[in-house]
Structure 1
Amino acid sequence: MKVLAADIGGTKTLLQIADWGENTPQVLAEQRYLSGDYSSFDDLLRTFLTETSSTGNGLRGACFAVAGVVTQGVATATNLPWRLDATHLEATFELPQVVLINDFTAIGYGIEGLTPDDFAILQSGKPEAAAPQAVIGAGTGLGQALLVWQEQTGHYQVLPTEGGHVDFAPQGKLQIALLTYLSRQLDHVSYERVLSGGGLVTLYHFLKETSGMAESPALKKALSEGDQAAAISRSALEHGDPLAGQALDLLVQIYGAQAGNLALACLPRGGLFVAGGIAPKILERLQAGGFMEAFLSKGRLSELMQQIPVKVILESKVGLLGASRLAMRLAYEQL
């Protein structure tokens, strides 16, 4: 069963053709592209299919995961000027079936295909079989999804959300000052504004302007030359930069608090999974305690929070795996 899958993010897009056997895919072709290099997904997909023309024949279906809102077969990317239409893609590229899903929906479907080595455990908790699960992940944006067990299929159904855009709820004087700072610049301060790659940059500039701490010349130079979030994270983790370290610690605390908010909203006794591009890169900071301290700090319900398993997903292609897995399932349903 040969299918086409894509994981479309604001920074990068992964495309893959896989041939599924019995619940196991054989990857026939896979490419990574910088999303910003293409004016539309059509242009990118055309490039990929041209480059892989020898393996692209006989496709039975396609599933494209998009970092954005998906409604009735149309997806609008949140951090890209792209609009995808399933019907248009089927006709333009002669694909038998195209399904568009949210990128965190894809991550949810990909979890089933992971192994224990693909996770780092932050809290073992008391996992319950067939109980709800949840996913949260910071990267270019902030994504969240819910997973609900379906007895008739023997699989989890993934429910997408836009929970990353809920109101930022500060904890403590520093975060209250952060909200005040951002409210002068933004009409709506959501968690994504402070819990993402761009959010880390925002936290750094907030602390630089309000803490009185001096910016190191080396980091100032790095910020002017490339990926600012990566420069801040690297300076904190590898060089011990105090200002960058405080910004990263603040992000970790906010991350843990919002993961806890998500857990309270759906009680994922089957596990809460931390996904996205940032978590694996700052794993040592997540394991240092600030994340779980904020996660558990829920007043009268702190004891309940201790029962929820919390794991970091280490496999960077989990979204691509999930999109491919769903394309396979839907293609089999058409037989």
Structure 2
Amino acid sequence: METEVIKTQGYNLVGDIGGTNARFALLVPGESELTNIKTLSCTEFETVQEAMTSYLSSIQNVEINSSCIASAGTTHLDIFKPANNDWVINKADVSSALHNVEVNWINDFSAQALATSTLSEDDIVVVNQGNAQIDRVRLVIGPGTGLGTCGLIESSNRWIPLPAQGGHTDFAPNSDLEIEILKILKKQFGHVSVERILSGPGIVNLYKAICQINGRDIIFQSPSEVTSAAIKANSDLTAKETLNLFCKIFGSVTGTIALTTGCLGGIYITSDLVRNFLDFFLESDFLESFQDKGRLDYYMTDIPICISKKQNMGLIGSAYKINNL
């Protein structure tokens, strides 16, 4: 990794640990501008502290004052394992690797949620205009390696995240086809959570199930292969069917969580995965499926929905957290 030289100064370290990548950045205490942003592959390191040490070794003359790390998983525990990552994270070991500075931990989607409070109109794509009620809870949701969810509500002087594990709730099929898909995935996984479908790996699960149901050959093996085949000019039939169904199920699940949480403050979708097929998504059945809630259709149409275009939302949220402790 190329070594960068910056002026000797005390910095805060922020991180965002996902199922696939670990992202790190520095910021001057009290400021929000991120510097030295780097993305590392989790599989290249045995532990998070190894990845962190590798990152810091690429930057000379830096003293870390404190840190805030966002991570998937049950970050309220002293030792925890992210659901889609082989790392076991020991908070004491991480602090020790940083010479025992204070390390604050936050759920990765709590960080994503906090980051939405910094977005401008230029940072979003509107999916449904709706009519936001500013005193009501927001929902932040996004498929990636898993499916992240978090509530967000404004207090008198700051935003407060309401962390959740919505990606691990049960998948509830809404059609004969979805019932068949559930049967296939149940044989494979036992419990079928919504993130077995609404995630990068979930797209592949969905694609293979549709191939099996229709007696078609499995051609694609990765999420990027399926999505690319679906959105190209001469699209693959099964890939396109997969992505259409993905968007429809995503709408239904998001609508169910919206009803459960009463998120009339609006919904923010933060997902690199969805941004990879944004035009397809905007033309899909997502919104129709979201609003298809029977007697509560009128309630759903009032909920604003937008997609964040901004990169590094987890790092931005971690910076917000460390500046508002």
TM-score by length of 2: 0.92
The residue type equivalent to 2:185 in the other structure is L
What is residue 132 of structure 1 aligned with on the other side?
Answer: 137
What is residue 52 of structure 2 aligned with on the other side?
Answer: 45
- Aligned-pair identity in percent equals 28
How many Å apart are 1:212 and its aligned residue?
3.9
What is residue 63 of structure 1 aligned with on the other side?
Answer: 68
**Structure 1 contact 214–243 (Cα < 8 Å) conserved:** no
* Partner-residue secondary structure (3-state), 1:71: coil
How many Å apart are 1:148 and its aligned residue?
2.0
What is residue 304 of structure 2 aligned with on the other side?
Answer: 309
* Unaligned 5+ runs, structure 2: 1-9
The residue type equivalent to 1:31 in the other structure is K
**Selected match of 1:230 from 200, 224, 227:** 224
Distance (Å, rounded) in 2 between the aligned partners of 1:184 and 1:91: 43
**Selected match of 2:108 from 89, 96, 103:** 103
**Structure 1 contact 296–305 (Cα < 8 Å) conserved:** yes
Distance (Å, rounded) in 1 between the aligned partners of 2:47 and 2:113: 26
* Partner-residue secondary structure (3-state), 1:185: helix
**Selected match of 1:155 from 141, 153, 158:** 158
Distance (Å, rounded) in 2 between the aligned partners of 1:14 and 1:280: 19
The residue type equivalent to 2:66 in the other structure is G
How many Å apart are 1:90 and its aligned residue?
2.1
Comparing 320-329 with 293-302, greater Cα deviation is found at 320-329
**Structure 2 contact 53–97 (Cα < 8 Å) conserved:** no
Deviations 1:256-285 (A, max 9, x none): 111101100111111111112211112112
How many Å apart are 1:161 and its aligned residue?
0.7
How many Å apart are 1:30 and its aligned residue?
1.8
Deviations 1:130-188 (A, max 9, x none): 3210111101111111112212xx22200111111011000111111111121222210
Comparing 41-50 with 1-10, greater Cα deviation is found at 1-10
What is residue 333 of structure 1 aligned with on the other side?
Answer: none
The residue type equivalent to 2:149 in the other structure is Q
* Partner-residue secondary structure (3-state), 1:134: strand
Distance (Å, rounded) in 1 between the aligned partners of 2:239 and 2:43: 27
Comparing 158-167 with 182-191, greater Cα deviation is found at 182-191
**Selected match of 1:12 from 21, 29, 39:** 21
Distance (Å, rounded) in 1 between the aligned partners of 2:93 and 2:217: 53
1:275 matches 2:270: yes
1:22-41 alignment runs, 5 A limit: 24-41=31-48
Deviations 1:196-252 (A, max 9, x none): 11111011111111124566xxxx3xx36xxx1100100101141111000111111
**Structure 2 contact 230–240 (Cα < 8 Å) conserved:** yes
1:153-302 alignment runs, 5 A limit: 154-213=157-216, 220=219, 223=220, 228-238=222-232, 239-302=234-297
TM-score by length of 1: 0.90
The residue type equivalent to 2:46 in the other structure is S
* Partner-residue secondary structure (3-state), 1:170: coil
Go from structure 1 to structure 2 and tell me whether the alpha carbon gap of 1:95 and 1:119 turns closer, same or farther (over 3 Å shift).
farther
What is residue 6 of structure 2 aligned with on the other side?
Answer: none
* Partner-residue secondary structure (3-state), 2:324: helix
**Selected match of 1:89 from 80, 87, 94:** 94
* Partner-residue secondary structure (3-state), 1:53: strand
Go from structure 1 to structure 2 and tell me whether the alpha carbon gap of 1:60 and 1:329 turns closer, same or farther (over 3 Å shift).
farther
* Partner-residue secondary structure (3-state), 1:68: coil
* Partner-residue secondary structure (3-state), 1:302: helix
* Partner-residue secondary structure (3-state), 2:188: coil
What is residue 2 of structure 1 aligned with on the other side?
Answer: 11
Deviations 1:287-322 (A, max 9, x none): 114000110011111110001001111112111100
Distance (Å, rounded) in 1 between the aligned partners of 2:265 and 2:44: 39
Task: Give the CA RMSD over aligned residues.
Answer: 1.6
How many Å apart are 1:113 and its aligned residue?
1.7
**Selected match of 2:82 from 77, 82, 93:** 77
Distance (Å, rounded) in 2 between the aligned partners of 1:209 and 1:289: 24
* Partner-residue secondary structure (3-state), 2:133: coil
Comparing 247-256 with 128-137, greater Cα deviation is found at 128-137
**Structure 1 contact 61–328 (Cα < 8 Å) conserved:** no
